[in-house]
Chain A
């Protein structure tokens, strides 16, 4: 991601989640080209979808999700989820025992469930999220014993209008894919989707610049109870031994700092994020004489969520889920276009 100086902080200021997605100033103005020279997403920390089903969202919280971007699915039919689950299940069985054929529809070791998460979307143009769950059947015990969930993944789009508008009917835009569980299952499920819907998966990394956005965004969140510390992990480049620096800040201090930096509540600008980070760096330098700005920010974690530059996130609070997903959708789309 290009680290360009921002012309005007004000242009990045977007008052609401709704307007945010509509009026992304940098998005793909070169749309056709897809060169988002400064595809910096801005996400307000506010906003939760009140309608979200708590049970459904609970599935998604407190798990480390590995991020992927996915190009639009071709000829995906929401009405056929059950067929897809049978096919995927047979595919997994066939892949696991290469060379042996598997009948579609019979009971197999790995059970596949595909379901829609209807509430998990932003605008009208967004498709409902799609949850894929693999569970292993418990053979020994009785029928009614619970199947054990071994892997889960979900596709979603939250205000992914940039990709979904103007897309022909045959295509379904769900640009963000998150997986949790063994990599081997991710690869099986991924290949099946690729072969079936002619889409492409790519790992989605998060740049240090986006990480600092996230930490600023989350630092300002209101917290009900004694919250975990705000932690930033830096790695020092070009050393023979890897050296990580962890920088933990009391959440109240972080919030106090952010409140002094932020000019308008509900809006975040690049300039404010820079000031916030510079303050943290200056403070650290005063104590340890180390310029953190020369190191690479690799991980941020707060009471709201945590994110690693390799593209792994964990969301802890349900009310911040949509905001987070919106930002990640934005990142995924910029990787696709």
Chain B
């Protein structure tokens, strides 16, 4: 059987062969990563020349190989040798262009050369871009003729498996499924045919008679990995026809924390129709989740995707989490709810006696947390678990994992959050180390932020699936903020006003002070005096600076609220109580009195504030009490003022702090700002009218 074909390769002088060059470089640009592209651009001139010369000889080689009739022996034929070398070197350097495959496959499989030649040709079939499907189909037809030896057949199959992904289409190839299947009988090629079938198989290829044939082979050959793989794929497509379990490590049957995603075979069963298996509607509509690998694939198949048999497996699959985010079915959440609830209880290391798998449980909690972050939503099973187990928790086991999960407790109008969350948490908080206290404060800050974000999203999208009303939300948030205020006050006393602790507390208020403007929530709550005064009198400039910034944000929020209220554009359902403004003003008077006007202990009208009787103050025998907390003398600022003096008068060692006034006061302020005290800057600029700028008195001007 001699196939002649018109040479599709234009026989042109080598320098004129531009088209295939551009083809090749086009593929290279599309198919390679950028770094290679740039590298290639640099060398393009060089390459083009090489390619020119090789392309020329490749062409010659092709026509030679195609036209030669007799079985030429390689050893004696130096011309053949030369042409083979040309094919090989082109293949290794650039890969072969699509149009040469048919010719070369024909040559290699027609059996007109010795096996050594055929082998060399097959081994050099490295595609530059794609392999045309038609060339493969033609090649397969040669297998029927039986001209080529077993070894060449085998090599061809191996080659086919290797380049499978590069074959441009697979429709016709799939039509040859039965043909490939018949090759299974040959023991030598069976493993490769199985592999090829594995790549080719679609749901419609799985037929009872094929299953039976494979099972017969299995009975003959015993456990073979290639048969197992193919049968597993058959099971995936048709679980109602074949069952197989691959050997592997399995944990306790009723406590599998990490479930691999497998497709839901019950629904397949349903679709398989009743008694006879004639399906009027196609059953391959759904894509098995096992085959879902990439995000583009998810996008293309999102309409024909089904959730896995066990919903718990979505936790470890980002693609399925994406899908879950799109599909808002109740059953998804319910299935996950039951599974997660049971797993958490079953594996909880401090609820189940003698459970040694703390690490495993930790990583399970971590997985849940990551999924929650991904979905931006807490799981109700997890919430219930926390409520059930927090009272039993020692605050030590899986600490960071548990606290992170606390931060995703969903916002709901659930009224008993105090007894389920705050009470057990407070008990642990007061009796644990300062580090635990800081972790709790951090997690409650996260919780607050998650609640606030959730509110913003709900307002934005008008999608209020939960029954949370605005007033419910305001109450929940207020309860949380008051709770943190309370534990913070107590904790500062317990921990001796620790700077470290104060930092975490102020972090929390960093979110609270911006709730109105940043999160659109008609609520502002001032920190309690037990937090405010320790921060104001803090020994540490970081915290003082933070307090200043927080007070500045409170001011901005309160001013905006007042303006909205006055403009009455929209009738506000909620109004800040006068008490909030009052509290703010009291604090601001105290702050300005301490930091700016040097009237500490005098100008403080807060009932729990720093106001003290003059007689009492005199008894302390401390000189210059009143300015002892201004920005020069404040213990948190002393370091700056010393450095400032050193800088302006390096030779003066007396440290004349009193000299910082008038113009120097302004320099000093500039110095402070340049040292990164931005909070102090915005506070002073917003809450204090400067003499120099507005020729007013140097008294603190408290607005609102």
Chain A interface (Cβ within 8 Å of chain B)? 30, 32-35, 68, 71-72, 74-77, 80, 83, 87, 90-91, 93-95, 98-105, 168, 170-171, 187-188, 190-191, 194-203, 335-336
Contacts and interface: CB of A to CB of B under 8 A. Distances in A.
A198 B311 contact: yes
B254 A103 contact: no
29 contacts: A32-B380, A32-B414, A34-B341, A35-B387, A35-B420, A71-B339, A72-B338, A76-B266, A80-B270, A87-B243, A90-B242, A91-B245, A94-B245, A98-B246, A99-B228, A101-B211, A101-B234, A101-B244, A102-B215, A103-B241, A103-B243, A104-B241, A168-B331, A188-B253, A196-B265, A198-B264, A202-B254, A202-B342, A335-B345
Contacts of B339: 71, 198, 200
A195 B241 CA distance: 17
B41 interface: no
B256 to A, nearest CB: 8
Given A94-B245, A99-B247, A191-B253, A168 B309 contact: no
B253 A101 contact: no
Contact of A171 (B242, B264, B331): B331
Given A71-B339, A195-B310, A198-B310, A94 B244 contact: yes
Contacts of A83: 240, 269
B315 to A, nearest CB: 14
Contacts of A80: 269-270
Residue with the highest number of chain B CB atoms closer than 10 Å, among A33, A191, A198: A198
Given A30-B416, A87-B240, A95-B245, 4 more contacts: A33-B414, A83-B240, A98-B246, A196-B265
Question: Is chain A's binding surface mostly helix, strand, loop or mixed?
Answer: mixed
Contacts of A30: 416
A71 B231 CA distance: 32
B384 interface: yes
B664 interface: no
Contacts of A100: 218, 223, 244
B240 A98 contact: no
A200 B343 contact: yes
Given A35-B384, A80-B269, A98-B247, A199 B338 contact: yes
A104 B269 contact: no
B549 interface: no
Nearest to B212: A103
A203 B269 CA distance: 30
Interface string B416-443: 1000100000000000000000000000
Contacts of A188: 253
B285 to A, nearest CB: 17
Interface string B229-243: 001101100011111
A80 B335 CA distance: 21
Contacts of B203: none
B338 A93 contact: no
Question: Is chain B's binding surface mostly helix, strand, loop or mixed?
Answer: helix
Contacts of A75: 264, 266-267, 270
Contacts of B240: 83, 87, 104
A101 B310 CA distance: 22
Residue with the highest number of chain A CB atoms closer than 10 Å, among B247, B253, B339: B253
Nearest to B308: A198
A135 B454 CA distance: 55
A194 B387 CA distance: 27
A71 B266 contact: no
Nearest to B342: A200
Nearest to B244: A101
B346 interface: yes
Contact of B266 (A72, A94, A104, A197): A197
Contacts of B244: 94, 99-102
Contacts of B270: 75, 77, 80
Contacts of A196: 265-266, 309
**Interface residue range, chain B:** 35 or more
Contacts of A95: 245
Contacts of B223: 99-100
Residue with the highest number of chain A CB atoms closer than 10 Å, among B214, B231, B266: B266
B215 A101 contact: yes
A105 B311 CA distance: 28
Contacts of A335: 345
Question: Top 10 closest A-B pairs, CB basis?
Answer: A71-B338, A90-B243, A101-B244, A101-B231, A200-B342, A187-B253, A201-B254, A94-B243, A98-B247, A99-B223
A72 B265 CA distance: 18
A198 B309 contact: yes
B334 interface: yes
A187 to B, nearest CB: 4
B465 to A, nearest CB: 15
Contact of B420 (A33, A99, A171, A191): A33
Nearest to A102: B243
Contacts of B416: 30, 33
A194 B312 CA distance: 11
Nearest to A191: B253
B204 interface: no
A101 B245 CA distance: 7
B209 to A, nearest CB: 11
Contact of A87 (B239, B262, B335): B239
A87 B114 CA distance: 52
B309 A101 contact: no
Contacts of A87: 239-240, 243, 265, 269
A101 B206 CA distance: 14
A71 B214 CA distance: 38
A32 B611 CA distance: 50
A124 to B, nearest CB: 22
B335 A198 contact: yes
A168 B331 CA distance: 7
B201 to A, nearest CB: 14
Nearest to B330: A168
A272 B335 CA distance: 40
A5 to B, nearest CB: 17
Contacts of A71: 338-339, 341-342
Contacts of B335: 74, 198
B30 to A, nearest CB: 41
Contacts of B310: 194-195, 198
A94 B380 CA distance: 37
